Amino acid sequence: MTLTILFAAGPARWPTYEPHLAAALAEAGIAARLVTEAAPEEVDYIVYAPGGTVQDFTPYTRCKAVLNLWAGVERIVGNPTLTQPLCRMVDPALTAGMVEWVTGHVLRHHLGMDRHIVNPDHVWAPEPPPLAAERPVAMLGLGELGRACAAMLVALGFPVRGWSRSPRVVDGIACHHGDAGLQAALTGAEIVVTLLPATPDTENLLDARRLGWLAPGAAIINPGRGTLIDDAALLAALDAGRIGHATLDVFRVEPLPADHPYWAHPRVTVTPHVAAETRPASASRMVAENIRRGEAGEPFLHRVDRDRGY
């Protein structure tokens, strides 16, 4: 049987993904017709990305799953027409990229690299940083990405406190959950990394009150979602010196508007949503594996829980 797989992730991505998807499906032994257009009643699987070509999933009565190319699903999970199983992307290459980005920026703040990289007055100030063991890090989010980043930081010697909305047990990490656990994770933290999904429960998680729990001069590193931080509260804390620096990769509006105060703030680093990117070759193998599972009657990998939103 030849499956019909609709690539609905946008025409700009099609030339890049088509050869990788074809190769991954062939490697998995799946006979498939990869298309960008098809009669809805003929489609077996939809490969999707936000802003793609399908917004109404109602006509796709034969579709067995919608396979998202992004780790985040907040822009699709609430679609009332989507009744098919929805799977988010967990790509080993995406995880590796996130670990590298987070580790680099944690070390940048830990070592105080900025003052040496930009030193126009040639100030000679031999002030060595503390050891990693003396720099507590809070990791907000203990999903696939959060656990991988936390493990790398632990391997470097940082004491990592993890927080998630539901209980987790992760080797080498002091795990907390719930409202009380959030205060325990944040209190006295000198670096905070946010790797949570965007849901109603996580919006403005880092507000003025919770930012006040951090160590004076703490650094915020956000490669998760722009809605996790109360922007006004963060700017006020930066202006007051309570937060030493914020490195932000994600924003409520992207691209970040040219007049946004983050661009000009001396204690903010803006990166253009580059912390982690789906790689077509490895992502295609994940898509092919979920299609293989669907055809074999096995559970899909990384199926989204609609009630939790991820």
pLDDT in tens, 24-70: 999 999 999 999 999 999 999 999 998 899 999 999 999 999 999 99
Q: Which residue's entry shows tokens 């099609």?
A: 14
Cα–Cα dist 223/195, whole Å: 6
Q: Give the whole-number percent of the chain exceeding pLDDT 90.
A: 93
Within 8 A by CB and 6+ apart from 43, the residues are 4, 5, 6, 60, 62, 63
Mean pLDDT value of segment 138-142? 98
**Confidence at 192, pLDDT banded by 50, 70, 90:** very high
Q: What structural domains does the chain harbor?
A: 3-90+278-296 (3.40.50.720), 92-270 (3.40.50.720)
**Does 102 have pLDDT greater than 90?**
yes
225 tagged catalytic: yes
> What pTM did the predictor assign?
0.88
CA 202 to chain centre: 13
The pLDDT score that the predictor gives to residue 226 is 97
The pLDDT score that the predictor gives to residue 171 is 94
DSSP state string for 132-167: GGGS-EEEE--SHHHHHHHHHHHHTT--EEEEESS-
Q: How many angstroms separate the Cα of 197 from the Cα of each of 79, 228, 286?
A: 17, 8, 20
Q: How many angstroms separate the Cα of 277 from the Cα of each of 96, 146, 249, 274?
A: 10, 15, 12, 7
The pLDDT score that the predictor gives to residue 254 is 95
**Does 307 have pLDDT greater than 90?**
no
- Spatial contact of 176 and 183, defined as CB atoms under 8 Å apart: no
**Does 250 have pLDDT greater than 90?**
yes
23 closest CA partner among 277, 278, 282, 301: 282
Q: How many angstroms separate the Cα of 188 from the Cα of each of 87, 161, 208?
A: 37, 11, 15
The pLDDT score that the predictor gives to residue 67 is 98
| pLDDT digit string, tens, across residues 157-178 | 999 999 999 999 999 999 999 9
The pLDDT score that the predictor gives to residue 270 is 98
Q: How many angstroms separate the Cα of 127 from the Cα of each of 130, 174, 190, 266?
A: 9, 30, 18, 21
Range of lowest pLDDT (32-36, 58-62, 90-94, 251-255)? 90-94
Annotated active-site residue in 273, 279, 292, 306: 273
The pLDDT score that the predictor gives to residue 277 is 85
Within 8 A by CB and 6+ apart from 260, the residues are 251, 253
The pLDDT score that the predictor gives to residue 308 is 85
**Does 21 have pLDDT greater than 90?**
yes
**Confidence at 138, pLDDT banded by 50, 70, 90:** very high
Give the H or E element holding residue 88: none
273 tagged catalytic: yes
Annotated active-site residue in 165, 225, 245, 267: 225
